[in-house]
Amino acid sequence: MNRSGPDTAGAAATAHPDHVLPPAEAMLWARDLVKVHHGAETATHAVRHVDLRVDRGEFVAIMGPSGAGKSTLLHLLGGLDRPDSGRIWLDGQRVDGLTEARWSLLRRRTVGIVFQFFNLVTNMTAADNVELPALLAGMSPKQARTRREELFAELDLDDRAGSTPAALSGGEQQRVALARALVNEPGLLLADEPTGNLDSRNTRDVLRLLARYHARGQTILLVTHDARVASSADRVISLYDGEIADDSALHAPSASPTTVADVLRLKG
Amino acid sequence: MRLPLLALLAKEPAHGYELKQALEQTFGAAYPQPNIGQVYVTLGRLEKNGLIKGQDVDQSNRPNKRVYEITDAGREELAAWFAEPTEGPRVRDEFFMKLVLAPGAGGSDRLALINTQRRHYLNVMRGLSRLAAQDRDNRAAQLLIEGAMLHLQADLDWLERCQEELD
Amino acid sequence: MRALLRWVRADLRAHRGQATLMVLVTAVIAVSLILANALLQDAANPWQRIFLQSRGAHVWIHMRPGADTAPLSRLDGVTGVAGPYRTAPADLVRGTEKVGLELRAAGAEPPSVARPLVRSGRWLDPARPDSIVLEGSLAHAMRVGVGNTVTVHGRDGATRPMRVLGIADSADQGSYPDWTPGLGWVLPSALDRVVPEPVHTQQVIGLRLRDPGAADFTAQQVVTTLGSGQVTQVTTWQQVRSAMGQDNRLLGLLLGVFGLVALVAAALAMAGAAGSRVLVQVRDIAVLKTIGFTPAQVVRLFLYEHTALALAGMVLGAGAASLFGPLLPGALGEAMGLWQAEPAHAGALAATGAGVVLSIALATVLPAWRAGRIPAAPTVRANHPASGISRLARLALLLKLPPALALGSRAAFHRPLRAGLTVARLAIPIMMITVALGSWATLDGFQDHPRQLGLAASLTARPSGMGDAEARRLLTRQPEVAAAYPGVETPALVPGETTTITVRALGTADHPYPFALAAGHLIRDEDEAVAGQGALDLLHARVGEWVRVMAGGTPHILHIVGRDIEPDHNGEMLSVELGALAGPGGPPKTQYDALVLRPGADPKAVRADLIAASHGRLDVRSVANPADRLGMVRVVVVGLVGVLTLIGLAELVTATASGLRDHIRDLGVLRAMGLTPRQVTAIIVTSTGLLAMVAVLVGTGLGVLLSDRLINMEGQASGVGAGIARMPAPETLLLAGAVAVAVAACVSVVPATRATRARITTVLSASRT
């Protein structure tokens, strides 16, 4: 099993567990993460000894069947849930021991999150949903508004600013959620099945937007069970039963024209 | 290529080059470029079988062109084609052979086999995604690419099943 | 902070209806608290009403006859002057009684400042020179009515019979006998006839001030202006008020208790509402956390929002009560008007408002804290393992009850903690309603069973113009009179205390008066006594101890053998048998006879019969019942029960809604399994009904215990003594409980039908996340 992932610092980490420093180019670095969900009678090992490194500017997808622990892993990395053991560095800072409040402060600037069910604040307008984290991060209402307007123009949401989430289509909601996640220009964008509740056209739109922000240097970590979505990333990590089963960089598309043609050859 | 050409001719009579263009337009990037020679060969075969009939048309300052028209026999053949269900693509038999036979042959690790296969599928998927992005306006092409992607997704799901069996 | 405000604004806009409702509920609670406050203030503090209606003077100065009063009206802050009147000390004699009296010379026209309020009869009339108007409490104590004749003794020997022309209330001095001498108004000519020597007269003047708080300062100025030699006595309104208020401690305590109950109820209602809002918004709160709200910020979010709503409601309520309260018809409006005129009312209003807001804020802390603890990971929630059927449901199945009952009991109790909370929240208003009903029952007890509450005798009779023996014969002939007990009352000094208590000799050792004993036994000997709680407190004595009091100049050493319930005189009453007060000339002359009537006899009719039979020579009076004075309390009790019912209803709606939310998927499954919508509705209604039933049992039980304790505590503190509390009748409780359960069932029918009408598929898919 290939547990070490692409980094080779594993040996050093075991030798001096507390003095190890994350590589400078790593946006996210996790070592030996473990999370067990305790049910009434059984304990489920959702994440087992996962090592993970995401460099700045990378677009990484975590793929696996449902129940493989993908979402749990993402929650651990975003501070929404705490690991039972293991260490996490975010943007060079050790974060696994942070209190909930410190995590909240960190998320404002460093981590944007997009969810499968959009999770917009139901009683706020699309505009308020996006401006809220900006205000939280200390922007003035005017700055927040300007920034939100930029994002809405780019995401084709101009005429939706005053609508409540209930009045928006799924695709629109997810674009608003994307705007909200990006409004503070976070170092890391986490996406948990962002297309899981969208039809194929909206899925394509969201993927295109992710690709666009990635092209501008946004670091993205995406969780999905959908291979089409995963294939839009540079690197796909296969999670199976809480463990990393494979970690592979995808080729540039030009590397496989014949194969594609082969797949498409119509019989007839 | 026989039956698609027949289907195009059922709509209206056309000559070989027109047919090649129609094919390209309809299927776009999703379909491998048709060879003009192959189109003429196929048309000749169809005419010989009486499914279409050709007629030379004079052109000033150019060589004559041959315009084809579908016959009643051709229509029957076409109707029969539409009426019968189409066999779907089948499981990749070769990979399955490898997976089953690998342990006995003392060769490769089965997990490695699965991973290799998965990487391959993902790369193909990525290629298809790029292709789909290039040819966004052709709906027939998009449908075809999507179909291919869904097949790939099914193959990937099946790989997961294979992985489950390893434990 | 900006982000918090933004969210609060959006939330309020999105839940306009809910927010309005919360504001309104707070406003209603504030209004009812303020009204209750005003009402009870009014009842507990008669001075206020009299002072206001009579345009009372804030400072009264008694001075020597020749003093020049003109400079007083020019003092800074004086807006009006009453008098100066000539006054003279005299004695008022009626039958065998003689009490001190201050005669005040007043004109034929009542003055505009400190105008005596004629309650019955009429004001002085120059055509009737030998007439007198008596102050109400004095007339009451002397048992004098309009038309009676009294004798007034001047200090220099002149004696004149005078006819009582009217009885008037006045805020010039405290009520008799707490404040002596008593007060009577006569025409100047009459004063001259009773007290011909000017040297025995004094002058009195009342000053009305712009700022009531300056009374003490003004009093000082008066003494400086006139010279201390001229001034004999200065009285301020505060002294008068406290002297008048003493008799109503019970009411004051009730005010406090009811205020507290209403506040707790308000806080509970708001906490319930806030809690249900948190439940509804669990998902949004998780989202807020993912975008960077800290737990503390989430807590503050809810706290600020609900405090702001409470503040708005309080301001609305206080404003409405202040603006429209005085316009209300009847006693309510009058009480509000009076209360607003009271200088301290702004403070009381502020305190009430602050209390409401603070208690709501405090009550919101728990739900807010729970909101802060909601985990950020939005959808992760450990699946509850399908819990086994609860014991109760199993029992229901064993008993072969219909499915609705079996499943309903499962739905109600399958999460014991949640069910327990719901029951507790429903039980609290029910408990408080029981307490209110207990107060009501206690008042009923005073009215229906006065004998058990220290009011065995409902009439007193005293001869006026007929011999004792003849009076006695008359009384024994009257068939409705079960027994007549001769009685004497005299003030007694307690050694080491400045206050007096009343010693009452009633009945004899052979024929003891049926005191309502809460402890000990009846009087069996001359040196035995029973005491009210107030007297025990004053004497620092307990039942079984010996005490020494001075009555009529003689020391008496008495053995307290019992404590009786003593609604009169704040319980500061020591009762002995007639022989105990015997002097050298035998037993004292009886002042009156306490008449115990046969059960079912109408005191008014008996009184009329007796007066007729004696040709007016027998003065027969009804014994005052505290329940009559506490009539206001009934209004407050009704209001309180109304407010509590509303609160209970609100809790019920919350409980049903959250119950439905918990079970919505189960209900879908049940319907998919083939239960009819009607059966599903029945399950929900049963589940709510069962919870309500448990809450009723718990709430009523606790309420009965609490009400007993609370009312007896009030009784003890007010001097009447513990032992006055009466339980609400079992049938009343049963009825109230049945109504509560029925209402609960009805309330849950609407959301239940709505829930069952939803399409099964929607229900099943909506609860996916």
Domain coordinates in residue numbering, chain B? 2-83, 93-166
Partners of residue A187 on adjacent β-strands = none
CA–CA distance, C503 with C524 (Å, rounded to integer)? 17
CA dist., res. C586 & res. C602, Å (int): 36
Q: Which is more confidently placed, C119 or C495?
A: C119
Average pLDDT of the residues in B38-54: 89
**Tokens 């202040």, located at residue:** C322
Nearest to C338 by CA among C171, C215, C178, C208: C171
Identify the H or E element spanning C490: strand C481-493
In this structure, are residues A71 and A119 in contact, taking their beta carbons and an 8 Å threshold? no
Place of tokens 């001095």: C173
| Mean pLDDT per 10-residue interval, chain A, length 268 residues | 43 51 84 82 82 90 85 87 88 86 85 85 85 86 89 86 86 88 88 84 85 90 88 88 85 55 52
> Which pLDDT score, from 0 to 100, does residue C653 have?
77
Considering the domain boundaries, does residue A264 fall inside one?
no
B111–A230 CB contact, under 8 Å? no
Q: What is the model's pLDDT at position C769?
A: 37
What does the pLDDT read at residue A208?
A: 85
The dihedrals phi and psi of C140, each to the nearest 5 degrees, come to: -65, -45
Peptide bond preceding C403 in cis form (omega within 30 of 0): no
Judged by phi (left if over 0) then psi (alpha if -120 to 50, else beta), residue C348 lies in alpha
Q: Which of C99, C63, C61, C65 is nearest to C192 (CA)?
A: C65
Cα dist. A256→A247, A260, B141 in Å?
A: 20, 6, 19
DSSP state of C545: -
pLDDT in tens, B103-119: 777 666 888 888 888 88
C359: confidence class by pLDDT, cuts 50, 70, 90: confident
CATH topology of domain B2-83: Arc Repressor Mutant, subunit A (1.10.10)
CA distance A30 to A248: 18
CA distance C186 to C204: 14
Cα–Cα dist A156/C388, whole Å: 52
* A245 near B CB under 8 A: yes
Q: Which residues of A touch B1 (CB under 8 A)?
A: 268
Query: Distances from the Cα of A177 to the Cαs of C8, C289, C346, in angstroms?
Result: 20, 14, 51
Stretch among A235-244, C248-257, C306-315, C611-620 having the lowest mean pLDDT:
C248-257
Could A260 and B122 be called an inter-chain contact, meaning their C-beta atoms sit closer than 8 Å? no
- Counting as contact any 3 or more CB pairs under 8 A, the partners of A are B, C
Beta strands of C601-736 (E only): which ranges?
618-622
Cα distance from A162 to chain C (closest Cα, Å)?
12
Return the amino acid letter for C429.
Answer: P
State the count of interchain CB pairs (< 8 A) between A and C: 102
- From C283, C292, C382, residue closest to A104, measured CB to CB: C292
At residue A268, the pLDDT reads 37
- Burial of A18 (C-beta count, 10 Å sphere; 0-12/13-18/19+): exposed
Using a CB–CB cutoff of 8 Å, tell me whether A227 touches chain B: yes
State how far residue C740 is from chain A, nearest Cα, in angstroms.
35
* Nearest residue in A to C379, CA atom: A117
Residue C394: predicted pLDDT: 57
Q: Over pLDDT 70: what percentage of chain C? A: 82
Q: Please report which helix (H) or strand (E) contains residue A93, including its range.
A: strand A93-94
Taking alpha carbons only, the member of A105, A71, A84, A107 closest to residue A38 is A84
The DSSP line for B34-85 is PPHHHHHHHHHHHHHTTSEEEEEE--TTS--EEEEEE-HHHHHHHHHHHHS-
DSSP lists the bridge partners of residue C209 as C78
C469-507: pLDDT as tens digits: 777 788 888 888 888 888 888 777 776 665 667 788 888
Total number of domains in chain A? 1
Residue of C nearest to A108 (CA): C292
Q: Where do the structural domains in chain C lie, given as residue ranges?
A: 1-56+238-377, 78-209, 391-449+626-769, 456-624
Pairing of strands C618-622, C459-463: antiparallel
Number of C-alpha atoms within 13 angstroms, CB side, residue C158? 15
User: pLDDT by residue (tens digit) across B132-159?
Assistant: 777 777 787 788 888 888 888 888 888 8
Domain CATH code at residue A171: 3.40.50.300
Confirm or reject contact between A236 and chain B (CB < 8 A): yes
**B151 interaction partners in chain A (CB closer than 8 Å):** 263
Among residues C31, C730, C705, the alpha carbon closest in space to that of C317 is found at C31
DSSP C218-234: HHHHHHHHH-TTTEEEE
Is-contact A144 A134, C-beta < 8 A?
Answer: yes
Q: Tokens 């220290």 label which residue? A: C454
Query: Range of A232's domain?
Result: 55-82+95-253
Residue A17 contacts B, CB cutoff 8 Å: no
Q: Could you tell me if residue A158 is inside a domain?
A: yes
The two beta strands, A188-192 and A219-224, are parallel
Compute the distance between CA of residue C740 and CA of residue C730 in angstroms, rounded to an integer: 15
- Check whether C737 has a pLDDT greater than 80: yes
Burial class of C192 by CB neighbour count within 10 A (0 to 12, 13 to 18, 19+): middle
Q: Give the highest mean pLDDT range of B29-33, C191-195, C720-724.
A: C191-195
Query: Which residues in chain A are contacts of C377 at CB distance < 8 A?
Result: 75, 80-81
The token pair at C244 is: 């008048």
Q: Side chain identity at C507, as an amino acid letter?
A: G
Judge: A136–C7 Cβ closer than 8 Å, yes or no.
no
Is 70 exceeded by the pLDDT of residue B40? yes
Chain B residues bordering chain A (beta-carbon distance below 8 Å): 1-4, 27, 30-32, 111, 115, 118-133, 144-146, 148-149, 151-153, 156-157, 160, 163, 167
pLDDT of residue A169: 86
Mean pLDDT over all residues of chain C?
A: 77
Helices (H), ranges, chain A: 10-15, 70-77, 100-110, 126-136, 141-154, 170-182, 200-215, 227-230, 257-264
pLDDT of residue B88: 66
For residue A156, the distance in angstroms to the closest alpha carbon of chain B comes to: 18
pLDDT for residue C379 is more than 60:
no
**CA-based Rg of chain B, rounded to a whole angstrom?**
22
Query: What distance in Å separates the CA atoms of residue C218 and residue C222, rounded to the nearest whole number?
Result: 6
User: Is the pTM of the predicted complex or chain greater than 0.80?
Assistant: no
Tokens of C219: 């009093």
Helix (H) or strand (E) holding C63: strand C59-63
- CA A101 to each of CA A81, C291, C376, C377: distance values in angstroms, whole numbers, following the listed order: 13, 12, 11, 14
In a domain, residue A15? The reply is no
Tell me the chain A residues in contact with residue C11 when contact means C-beta distances shorter than 8 Å.
123-124
Kindly provide the ipTM of the predicted complex, given to two decimals.
Answer: 0.82
- Residue A201 included in any domain: yes
Contact C506, C581 (CB under 8 A): no
- For C524, the 3-state DSSP assignment is coil
Phi/psi of residue C762, nearest 5 degrees: -60, -45
Alpha helices in C150-248 (DSSP H): 188-194, 215-226, 237-245
DSSP string covering C442-466, please? Answer: HHHHHHH-GGGGT----EEEEESSS
Burial class (CB in 10 A: 0-12, 13-18, 19+), A237: buried
Question: Higher confidence at residue A248 or residue C157?
Answer: A248
pLDDT for the residue numbered B31: 67
Q: Going by C-beta distance under 8 Å and a sequence separation of 6 or more, which residues neighbour residue C228? A: none
- Rounded Cα gap, residues C281 and C277, in angstroms: 6
CA atoms within 13 A on the CB side of C723: 21
Tokens coding C648: 């209970």
B156 contact residues in A (CB cutoff 8 A): 227
Question: Dihedral through CA C350, CA C356, CA C362, CA C367, nearest 10?
Answer: -140
A253 and B148 within 8 Å at the Cβ level: the answer is no
Quote the CA–CA distance of A234 and A8 in Å, as a whole number: 19
β-bridge partners, B68: B14, B54
Is residue C237's pLDDT more than 50?
Answer: yes
Element (H, E) at C7: helix C2-14
Q: Which residue has the tokens 């208690």?
A: C359
More confident residue, B92 or C549: C549
Interface contact C2, partner A, CB < 8 A:
yes
